[in-house]
């Protein structure tokens, strides 16, 4: 029986463990395409673990185990046919702390496409320009592409990391508290950028900050102690949380 | 007030350290001056190849050349091997095996050089003579190579370079491993998240980020290699000739000093020429240190790490 694919990323009955410790418990949800989904929840509830399970970055951790299914464009990403490298190309990731490589701005953006077989500078240069423009960084760095990336300001570094993630054309973008280590002005810029990017990308963003989640996201998830308590349109959750724990979190009583 | 006292207390050893270096340099310079001023000597001894104190010939180029060749060979063997081992240790090795391998490496570094020399003399030199040389010289794939020509008794630049490489290896491994492990794991994660394999990440990101540290380690080990005495003395043959092939013997700077200082008092210039060799040696070590510092500075700057 064929079922039409409804979403780029679908999660069915996902549970994960680090050693004996259960972190995520029976999570099922569908992330809307071309929208921002915010994952909220108190510290330690498993938000980062959830993101890192979606691009299989937890595979590196020896005692990590998972059960359940995550589908990317209908394919099980933990299935026997799955190609983890191609999967990670399709699911970009931006981390909490800006982590540009210690090389030039240009080389940072070229790194991804080179990995995936683009060798020719005539092809790479337009990718660099396009990615930096998309990340709203081009105008600030176009005259210094060969400067070392770590010399940029924190906010610029984070936009460079976004450009680096976009350089391999991933349909999905994971962001783990992308602005929490930045000053308010840089944070604002990146928030605006995220709203801009959702036209073309499916974005899943972890955030601690309820107000930010309400400003930026279309869908929101509330995780509590590894359980998915609520998952719905952001507006609905903001106006009338269905669960009292969600309400307690968004009014600031827990978290 | 407290601070001033602290500063002063720390200043004393710092000052004593630099004073000692300057003192040694001055002393060597003082002892070497006669040969640099004498009509039989002069600064050109560093490019003159003939060393024969009985005929007033004091060219030390042969020793400089011998040291260079042995050092170059050692670095050419120890560096790729050592970095490879370090990449394995830091990026691929399971933690439990890692600990014991690191311990072995550190123990290797603690073995006295005379022990390495003895082993090389008893095992490696005969092996080069009886197995290695006949094998490469009879194999049509390698027999034509100019660096494998000539008859040998095993005492050779190859033996010297190899034993030096073995002695340098633990340092290169340990320092490179430390440099690789100090690369933040956030770089590794960023690379993996872009779809890189572990190998691609290790080679293109981790090694590249650690290059300043690794490079400095190599340059400093250059200094150790030219200055190493006992092991090299025992296996290079100490023969006053230009080594044209890997199987030829050579005479290195440290060996000539060790071998001849005892009776060089016969002619004052002879003695002075040996100090000239020591002076060149010290200058080389100092410049290696300076180059290492530059290299780190340059590497950190191009990577935006300062
Ligand atoms: N590599 C690991 N090994 C063992 N336990 C881990 C590992 N990574 C995370 N955990 C545990 O899993 C739980 C969830 O961690 P996670 O980092 O996903 O939380 P989080 O919601 O992102 O928190 P924060 O808001 O502080 O970032 C925590 O209890 C944490 O201790
Ligand atoms: Mg987290």
- Can you spell out the DSSP letters for A11-38? EEEEEEEETTEEEEEEEEEEEPTTSEEE
Q: What is the DSSP letter of A103?
A: S
A19 CB-contact burial (10 Å; exposed 0-12 / middle 13-18 / buried 19+): exposed
Position A2 confidence tier, pLDDT thresholds 50, 70, 90: very low
**CB A102 to CB B194 under 8 A?**
no
d(CA A65, CA A57): 12
In sign, the C-alpha dihedral spanning A169, A62, B175, B305 is positive
In sign, the C-alpha dihedral spanning B179, B185, B186, B191 is positive
Tens-digit pLDDT profile for residues B146-177: 999 988 999 999 999 999 999 999 999 999 99
Scanning A90-149 for CB atoms below 8 A from B yields 92-93, 95, 97, 99, 101-103, 111-112, 115-116, 147-149
How many other CB atoms are there within 10 angstroms of residue B212's CB atom?
Answer: 22
In sign, the C-alpha dihedral spanning A205, A211, A215, A218 is positive
Query: Which residue does chain B place closest to A152, by CA atoms?
Result: B304
CB A52 within 8 A of CB A14: no
Q: What is the DSSP letter of B245?
A: S
All structural domains of chain A = 9-250 (3.40.50.300)
Predicted local confidence at residue B155, as pLDDT? 95
Q: State the count of interchain CB pairs (< 8 A) between A and B.
A: 71
Q: Which residue has the tokens 């080679």?
A: B203
Q: B57 by DSSP, 3-state: which?
A: strand
- pLDDT exceeds 60 at position B13: yes
Tell me which chain B residues have a C-beta less than 8 angstroms from the C-beta of A112.
194-195
All structural domains of chain B = 69-265+286-302 (1.10.3720.10)
ipTM at complex level: 0.93
User: What is the mean pLDDT of the segment spanning A237-245?
Assistant: 92
Position B97 confidence tier, pLDDT thresholds 50, 70, 90: very high
Q: Which residue has the tokens 């550190």?
A: B106
Q: What is the DSSP letter of B167?
A: H
Tens-digit pLDDT profile for residues B277-295: 999 999 988 888 888 889 8
- pLDDT exceeds 90 at position A42: yes
Tens-digit pLDDT profile for residues A98-117: 999 999 999 999 999 999 99
Closest CA to B60 of B40, B83, B31: B40
Ligand 1 atom with least separation from CA of A177? 27
**CB A168 to CB B193 under 8 A?**
no
pTM, two decimals, is 0.88
**CB B194 to CB A55 under 8 A?**
no
Phi, psi of A187, deg, nearest 5: -60, -45
Q: How far is CA A117 from the centre of its chain?
A: 24
Distance B171 CA to ligand 1 centre (A): 37
List Cβ<8 Å contacts ≥24 apart for A232-238. A234/A38, A238/A214
**CB B189 to CB A57 under 8 A?**
yes
- pLDDT exceeds 90 at position B237: yes
Q: B243 by DSSP, 3-state: which?
A: coil
CB A54 within 8 A of CB A31: no
Predicted local confidence at residue A1, as pLDDT? 39
Position A6 confidence tier, pLDDT thresholds 50, 70, 90: low
Contacts of A39 (CB under 8 A, 6+ apart): A47, A50, A51, A204, A205, A206, A207, A220, A221, A223
- Can you spell out the DSSP letters for B180-205? HHTS-HHHHHHHHHTT--HHHIIIII
d(CA A205, CA B108): 50
Nearest to B197 among A85, A102, A150 (CB): A85
């Amino acid at each position: 029986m064929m079922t039409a694919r409804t979403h780029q990323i679908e999660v069915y009955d996902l549970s994960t463990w680090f050693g004996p410790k259960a972190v995520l418990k029976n999570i099922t949800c569908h992330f809307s395409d071309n929208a921002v989904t915010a994952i909220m929840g108190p510290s330690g509830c498993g938000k980062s673990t959830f993101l890192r399970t979606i691009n299989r970055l937890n595979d590196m951790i020896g005692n990590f185990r998972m059960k359940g299914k995550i589908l990317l464009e209908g394919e099980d990403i933990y299935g026997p046919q799955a190609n983890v490298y191609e999967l990670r190309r399709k699911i970009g990731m931006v981390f909490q702390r800006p982590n540009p490589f210690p090389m030039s701005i240009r080389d940072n953006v070229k790194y991804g496409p080179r990995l995936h077989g683009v060798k020719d500078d005539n092809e790479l240069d337009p990718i660099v320009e396009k990615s930096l423009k998309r990340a709203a960084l081009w105008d600030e760095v176009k005259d210094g592409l060969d400067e070392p990336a770590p010399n940029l300001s924190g906010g610029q570094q984070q936009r460079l990391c976004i450009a680096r993630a976009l350089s391999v054309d991933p349909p999905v973008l994971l962001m783990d508290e992308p602005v929490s280590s930045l000053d308010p002005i840089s944070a604002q810029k990146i928030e605006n950028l995220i709203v801009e990017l959702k036209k073309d990308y499916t974005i899943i963003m972890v955030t601690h900050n309820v107000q930010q989640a309400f400003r930026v996201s279309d869908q929101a998830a509330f995780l509590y102690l590894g359980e998915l308590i609520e998952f719905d349109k952001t507006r609905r959750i903001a106006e009338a949380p269905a669960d009292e724990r969600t309400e307690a979190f968004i009014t600031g009583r827990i978290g | 007030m407290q601070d001033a006292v602290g500063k002063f207390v720390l200043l004393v050893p710092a000052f004593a350290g630099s004073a000692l270096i300057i003192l040694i340099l001055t002393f060597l310079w003082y002892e070497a001056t006669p040969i640099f001023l004498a009509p039989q000597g002069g600064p050109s001894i560093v490019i003159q190849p003939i060393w024969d104190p009985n005929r007033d010939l004091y060219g030390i180029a042969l020793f400089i050349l011998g040291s260079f060749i042995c050092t170059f060979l050692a670095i050419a063997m120890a560096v790729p091997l050592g970095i490879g081992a370090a990449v394995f240790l830091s990026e691929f090795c399971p933690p439990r095996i890692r600990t014991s391998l690191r311990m072995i490496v550190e123990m290797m570094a603690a073995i006295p050089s005379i022990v390495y020399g003895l082993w090389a003399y008893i095992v490696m030199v005969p092996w080069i003579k009886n197995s290695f040389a006949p094998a490469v010289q009879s194999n049509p794939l390698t027999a034509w190579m100019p660096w494998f020509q000539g008859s040998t008794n095993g005492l050779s630049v190859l033996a010297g370079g190899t034993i030096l490489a073995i002695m340098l290896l633990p340092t290169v491994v340990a320092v490179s491993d430390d440099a690789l492990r100090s690369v933040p794991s956030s770089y590794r994660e960023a690379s993996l998240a872009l779809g890189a394999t572990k190998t691609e990440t290790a080679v293109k990101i981790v090694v590249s980020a650690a290059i300043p540290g690794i490079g400095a380690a190599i340059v400093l080990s250059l200094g150790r290699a030219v200055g190493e005495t006992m092991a090299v003395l025992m296996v290079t043959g100490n023969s006053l000739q230009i080594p044209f092939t890997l199987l030829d013997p050579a005479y290195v700077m440290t060996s000539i000093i060790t071998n001849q200082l005892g009776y060089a008092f016969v002619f004052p210039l002879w003695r002075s020429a040996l100090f000239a060799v020591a002076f060149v040696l010290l200058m080389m070590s100092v410049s290696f240190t300076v180059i290492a510092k530059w290299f780190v500075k340059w590497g950190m700057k191009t990577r935006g790490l300062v």
